[in-house]
Chain A
């Protein structure tokens, strides 16, 4: 197992290299450059050229990439072209809010979806199954910006129950309750989508398992229905559930771009949009790198969890 993990981590290095090359090329293909976005419109062409030269932006793309890569290997992510702060510092400031928002959304979504999925499978084709399946379709189909604007209109603008956006009240104390109030609406939007998706996987995977012979064996032993469902059946339907969780984990970093925009949540999503509009190459590269690492980590974690959930899966 340990050998397997080490092998997977070694494979991740060339993958990450490829990802950064592609990202760097694509970013540089986009029209415009950081200098156009950051300097005063009245600057002369000579001043622009001087700034570009100072930042190294007049060099060929591959030289720029090489410089970036060398700095990265020294642990330096560069500084932001627009705010002039070190990228590491900016990233640190934005990771927390996003992980908080997405973490809470994932947990809330799963806590609701997994039991509901089990109930739906146990009571297939009953009214509760139809209602839950209907809601899950709604959750998957409705775009986040639309649902986001909808809940802002109803709960923030009309009912005044929750704030319309941001993470803390401006000039407030930043207390837990304040953050919680700001969390409710974006979590509602995100958990609807995450939960809606999860319900369908749990339901179908449980349905697959519920007809199996070994559940009849369990029942023939005199076990209660609760134990049969939640011990014998659920453990066997974990593989698809783990797969979905593995796909969801990268959302912790990059999953809420639209929702963060709608709610002005000061996380990585908002940072991404700002960095794109200001052509802030160094910040974008750092966000991409972080996202790529998260995806690779989630994939590895998924494969390890497979082996934990199903003893027939072994990596030797």
Chain B
């Protein structure tokens, strides 16, 4: 137990060190702390205003229908899905093939203790992310359904135990994907493709499950729960335990989850050791093909370097490329499922906007998910010395990174607009204007992302996930882009009160372009003065 605590202390320092997060320079720390505090307030506000609002209202509706316990099913599902997403990315590299294996293995510590400490840290990450989503659901449930201490305690026990089984299951998925992809020469690319297939598959299954289920959750709560529990009994144990304070269901929930997890720790040790040892004995394949040189301009060369990084870091490709893939899938699907896609798009917002505006919202939302410029400078990490020592202007480096971001999102967005316009029978003029909007948004989010990363760079990291998902740059990049999208929406809404769609889109695009130019100029100026100050040890 002592060794477990000691390991946990070290792993905690590695993963949750505030000094590392805020930077070692005191002056910068205050600035960053203010920025992060502002960001947190903005995020909480945005989150409570959207997700929180939806679940508060949903709770009210469910309560009026006598089906408040359905919120517990939602809590369970959110916890499971978030765990799945975290574990698929992190298990391989966190419990299998971890980087500090060479450091830990020679030490006189039981492998089981190391594994338990590593899993604990991974679970804490999961709890932190699931809490954000479960808290509004929990509030809505107890607000509308009435507060009860015993139910609340059971809910918290559920919060801790629900992620355990998805952790077990998706750890194996994570390992399986890495094992399959390692057999190929372009293993990272295969890994990315498999992850995309898995995610899209899960999305498809969840849609299919909803449509296959003949039971309407609004009409018959019990039947709906039964239909889900048929596939996965812990859902029922959790909901029954919280709703009826059933000791038996709580017991089943605890024994099933904790028992399986303990077994997992016990039986997985051999596999952990095997995968780690295999990772140490990589052989460099020899290749008789002559290495042929290619000459490019500096900006193109930097953009190509960025592209290589993108396709070789699965977590980067999956997070930053998800919007592009969604756009692509939607655009292709619109050709074959014209009516379904039209219905889907018009139902997304439910704001009563015309179809062209809804297409723009979908396109804008997907494009704003492409935030490579907000993190690509940080992703240089220990390699940043290369760019600093080379005769390249800092602004040229930023331009290369911007070029990549634009090339990643814009061509697919333009093709998607053309295909969606064709399917939705949108006029040529409107299509061209929508393309202009896409260009303006792409430029704006790209320049804004670069600005963000210059403000909050983080070069001291061990795993790219820390940058792609958990850095201030990633959060600001993504939420900041949504902020612009919301601003665009308001602008559009007010302009269309007195003017046509065409003029509104033209004005919104002009607004974006003006902001993009300002951000671009600021990036050039700031890069020049900040690059030399970024110290990478």
Does A associate with B in a complex?
no
